[in-house]
Amino acid sequence: MRRRWVIIALAVLAVVVGITSNLADARLLPYGPVAATGAMGEDVSAFPYTVHVNHAQAAASIVEAGRFEPPPPTTTDGVWVVVNLSYATEDEVRIPGSSALVLRAEDGRQFPVSNRSPARPWLAGADIWVRGDLAFEVAPDTLDGLMLVFDPELKIYGPMPMQYAQIPLDLDPDDVVEVLDLTETETLPVGKR
């Protein structure tokens, strides 16, 4: 009789230990994205990309880079923010998704790359750095405190935290130029960003 109670107690103990370890795993494992914060002029990792923001400028209108006659300026009801950046991948040739690059305001509003801008995310390869401009249409009251967020949006199954980059932009709300010319993308030599 005593042996049965020992077996029952051990079975109950095994169930309690199993439930406790599952609860601890569910609460303590790092699920979800993890931010890597950098600064303009630094390489910041957002696996499988590394991004480098050179500078940012606010403008009332932008002009597409053209090989022939430039088109008329594109205006906005808000303000254009043009971010000059370069990025490369760590593993294979990829292009970021359409919503991978956004500007986030201090109040949480997000502004994706504008559909009215000819500048779009471009193809990059393993250690092949490509630089160009991306244009965002933002509300004028958000210029102070904007942050570029680069989230590659990789969907990997399992408890693996994915990294995204966030880089504060140093924009002066009083320094809005009238017209800004966009630059074409260019593949950079080794060591350049």
Residue 71: what pLDDT?
83
Shortest CA distance to 109 belongs to which of 133, 78, 65, 67? 78
Phi, psi of 147 (to 5 degrees): -135, 130
Helix locations, 29-147, DSSP H: none
Helix locations, the chain, DSSP H: 2-28
Cα R_g (the chain), whole angstroms: 24
DSSP secondary structure, 173-191, as one string: TT-EEEEEEPPPPEEPPTT
Residue 99: what pLDDT?
82
Q: Is 4 helix (H, G, I), strand (E, B) or coil?
A: helix
Residue 83: what pLDDT?
96
Residue 188: what pLDDT?
86
Per-position b or e across 119-130, b if 16+ CB within 10 A of its CB: bbbbebeeeebb
Pick out the chain residues at pLDDT < 70: 23-33, 67, 154-161
- 118 exposure class (CB count in 10 Å sphere: 0-12, 13-18, 19+): middle
Q: What does the alpha-carbon distance between residue 49 and residue 82 come to, in Å, rounded to a whole number?
A: 20
What does the block give as tokens for 85? Answer: 């950046």
Residue 55: what pLDDT?
94
User: In whole angstroms, what separates CA 92 from the centre of its chain?
Assistant: 18
What does the block give as tokens for 193? Answer: 């960003």
What does the block give as tokens for 69? Answer: 């006659």
Residues whose CB falls within 8 Å of the CB of residue 162, separated by 6 or more in sequence, listed in order: 32, 33, 34, 47, 152, 154, 156
DSSP E strands, the chain: 34-37, 43-46, 49-63, 74-89, 101-104, 110-112, 130-138, 147-150, 163-168, 176-181, 186-187
- What confidence tens digit (pLDDT) does each residue in 7-63 have? 888 888 888 887 877 765 555 555 566 788 899 999 998 888 999 999 999 999 999
Residue 24: what pLDDT?
59
Residue 5: what pLDDT?
86
